[in-house]
């Protein structure tokens, strides 16, 4: 029988390419981590030893350039995973992660992840799919920020926020006028 937390994990992460593949038996390996608003989850350079799924809340992934500028890699919400970069290669974290609001996280330690993947290769495939999706979104974001006008970037960002909040934005209502 699953605990209330394990049920929340199953419901929140069922559409995730990695966490959605975990059986009731394997879900027992997942640990709960509660993080307060503005609390650091991990810092750039720390060992990548845990992969996270967001059960509730929002997480900001970011880095700082050598000049001190803050570079955001995105805000993640319910059902998304993070922390997978570097976990298989056993390298350090390439980004910082902080909670933008109170978060309930599903945490899977590297040793448990390796056991899962030894038992069933579909978990490795799921982790690779989730990592590839994150890379695709980052690539899209870099293209948008380097090659698209500020107006189009603002419009795309507003649409992305609306979709995350479960709203269906009207593309015909997207003619935003920005005055300089």
Tell me, what CATH number does 51's domain have? 2.60.120.10
Q: Is residue 23 part of a domain?
A: yes
> Residues 6 or more apart from 125 whose CB is under 8 A from it?
none
155 sits in which H/E element: helix 150-164
What's phi and psi for 111, nearest 5 deg? -60, -40
Total of domains in the chain: 1
Domain presence at residue 179: no
Does 176 fall in a domain?
A: no
Phi, psi of 77 (to 5 degrees): -130, -165
pLDDT band at 85 (very low <50, low <70, confident <90, very high): confident
**Does 156 have pLDDT greater than 90?**
no
pTM for the predicted model, two decimal places: 0.74
Kindly state whether residue 177 falls inside one of the protein's structural domains: no
* CA gyration radius, the chain: 18
In a domain, 178, yes or no: no
Q: How far apart are CA 17 and CA 19, in angstroms?
A: 6
Domain that holds residue 48: 4-167
Residue 174 lies in a domain: no
């Amino acid at each position: 029988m699953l605990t209330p937390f394990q049920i929340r994990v199953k419901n929140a992460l069922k559409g995730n390419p990695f966490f959605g593949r975990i059986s009731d038996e394997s879900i027992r390996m997942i640990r709960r981590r509660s993080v307060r608003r503005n609390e650091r989850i991990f810092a750039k350079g720390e060992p990548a030893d845990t992969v996270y799924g967001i059960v509730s809340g929002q997480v900001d992934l970011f880095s700082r350039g050598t000049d001190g500028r803050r570079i955001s890699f995105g805000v993640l919400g319910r059902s998304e995973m993070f922390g997978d970069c570097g976990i298989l290669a056993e390298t350090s974290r390439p980004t910082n992660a902080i909670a933008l609001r109170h978060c309930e996280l599903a945490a899977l330690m590297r040793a448990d992840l390796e056991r899962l993947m030894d038992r069933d290769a579909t978990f490795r495939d799921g982790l690779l799919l989730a990592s590839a999706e994150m890379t695709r979104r980052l690539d899209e974001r870099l293209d948008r920020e380097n090659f698209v006008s500020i107006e189009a970037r603002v419009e795309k960002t507003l649409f992305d926020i609306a979709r995350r909040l479960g709203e269906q934005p009207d593309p015909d209502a997207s003619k935003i006028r920005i005055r300089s």
